[in-house]
Amino acid sequence: MLSRRQIREAALQFLYCADLEGGAAPAALRDAFWDFVTESDRRSLQVATFRTVHHLAHGREGRLGEFVIRQQAAAAMLAAWPEAEPLKRELARIAEMEAKWSGMLDRLQRLPREDDDATVARQFNAALEEFFANDRALAVARRRFLEGIDDFPTLRGPLEAVAATIRRLQRVSDRLRMVENPEKFPEQTDLEKLRSSKKFLRELRAGADQLVDAVLAHKEGIDAMLAIVVEHYAPERIDPVDRAILRLASYEILHGDTPPKVAVNEAVELAKRFGTSDSGRFVNGVLDRVMRSKAGLSPEV
């Protein structure tokens, strides 16, 4: 379950990266940043997706073997019906795409899992997208063939054997649509892990992006406040991690809904985790002055 701490840590990392000297503008940095930050989580999601696909494909090869035999017999029969040439072409297209489906699944099985998170995530993402795209196109071709049979009532009986196998193969694809978009099928309890993982990644980015945008929108005013409470303040004179923490926490104190003392305590914890040995004490002192200044008190104790 997504926590406030995870959102704040992700926002802090972005603010730090976006504020480095010579770094890219925040808007240009965002997609690359999220690819980097979520490498491990995306890898886990993609591997879990593949395992689910592999499970659903169990037994498919038997159906495919049956289809190949029936497809060859159906193609030979359709060759005697010139007016049914579109059906024959569609059936040949299905056979080609079914073979491609099996080849893509084999490729997924052979992808290495031992490489670094970025490499695994990138390879799995490309292979899964290609696999799902082929399956969607295959589903369309199957539907066209099955609907096309209705235009030839005389052929319905002779083509029923191959049509039945096509429908059986389509049932695997129907399940794959659930794997590809598990959030659309909340009743499928076996897809809960995929659903929760995708939801976590989606909500983490949405929450962190919202917080980052709010901090950046108030950055000028936040720095003006920090200049009041920090003697000889200049952003470049403060450690980049401490600077990001101060801006994040100052936004929460001055404009957010978080109780100021909670914001300060959380900022100190961030400073201890990500900053130097002196960061916790420094951040605590500065933010205490921000709270006093907001309350209309002298920033000096």
**Which pLDDT tens digit goes with each residue over 9-44?**
999 999 998 887 555 677 778 888 888 888 888 888
CA 197 – CA 1 distance, rounded (Å): 9
- As a whole number of angstroms, the distance between CA 206 and CA 210 comes to 6
Cα separation of 168 and 110, whole Å?
26
CA-nearest of 29, 32, 9, 7 to 18 is 29
Question: Smallest Cα–Cα separation from 105: which of 52, 28, 181, 45?
Answer: 52
pTM of the predicted model as reported, rounded to 2 decimal places: 0.75
DSSP 245: H
Structure-block tokens of residue 19: 């504020």
pLDDT-based confidence at 301, cuts 50/70/90? very low
For the ranges 19-23, 92-96, 203-207, 217-221, which has the lowest average pLDDT?
19-23
Alpha-carbon distance 164 to 129, whole Å? 28
